[in-house]
Amino acid sequence: MKAKVTLYKICCWACFVAVFCASCNTAALDNLRGVEKSKDTLYYLDNIKPTVEQPIEPKKGEVFEAYKFVQVEVTEVSNPKRFALSFEVSYRSKDNANNYLGSFSLYPADNPGKFIVATQGKLKNEGAIILTMVIQDKIGPGDTIKATVKKMKFLKDN
């Protein structure tokens, strides 16, 4: 009889712990553990869809003409055959005029990194930044090239 009561108490505590854990706010627990979650937007480019567009979303009082650089962080690259890659950065104004800002290349061709491109004073508080992955080599129908890029940042100084 005493064993049944002990087993009953253990089951009650197990249920209590399970309900408690299920109802906990995981973000609060991560914060207590010191775990930071990334709030970065990621863009995915590949040889089928090589272009992404990031709208310019100014905060109140922000003047984009003051930004001298666009920072592009390529976080991951899948390029097993190491085809030569470059990335072109353009600014598209509200009236759809494209302004080429510059380009950069990965070296080696499967190596991620952070890159900056000068804005040349062309940015305005509206429009979008266009990033295009350009494959310099001819690739076969079975080849796949992928890149992951963080949300582009605007810098006043490098």
The per-residue pLDDT for 12 is 55
Whether residue 99 sits in one domain with residue 81: yes
Distance (Å, rounded) from C-alpha 21 to C-alpha 28? 12
Residues 51 and 95 both lie in one domain: yes
Which residue segment(s) compose the domain that 112 sits in? 42-155
Query: Quick one: 23 and 47 in the same domain?
Result: no
pLDDT at residue number 26: 44
pLDDT tens-place string over residues 48-85 = 999 999 999 888 777 878 899 999 999 999 999 999 99
pLDDT score of 29: 44
Claim to verify: residue 73 and residue 106 sit in the same structural domain: yes
Look at the chain and report how many structural domains it folds into.
Answer: 2
Containing H/E element for 33? helix 26-33
Answering whether pTM is above 0.75, one says no
Nearest CA among 104, 75, 85, 87 for reference residue 51: 87
Strands 98-105 and 153-155: unpaired
Q: Are residues 49 and 94 in the same domain?
A: yes
Q: Does 116 lie in the same domain as 68?
A: yes
Q: What is the CA radius of gyration of the chain?
A: 24
Dump pLDDT digits (tens) for 20-41: 544 444 444 444 444 444 467 8
Average pLDDT value for residue range 104-133: 94
pLDDT class for 3, splitting at 50, 70, 90? low
Q: Whole-angstrom Cα distance, residue 118 to residue 134? A: 19
Residue 97: pLDDT above 80?
yes
Q: Does 59 lie in the same domain as 18?
A: no
**Beta-carbon contacts of residue 148 (< 8 Å; ≥ 6 apart):** 42, 43, 44, 45, 74, 75, 76, 77
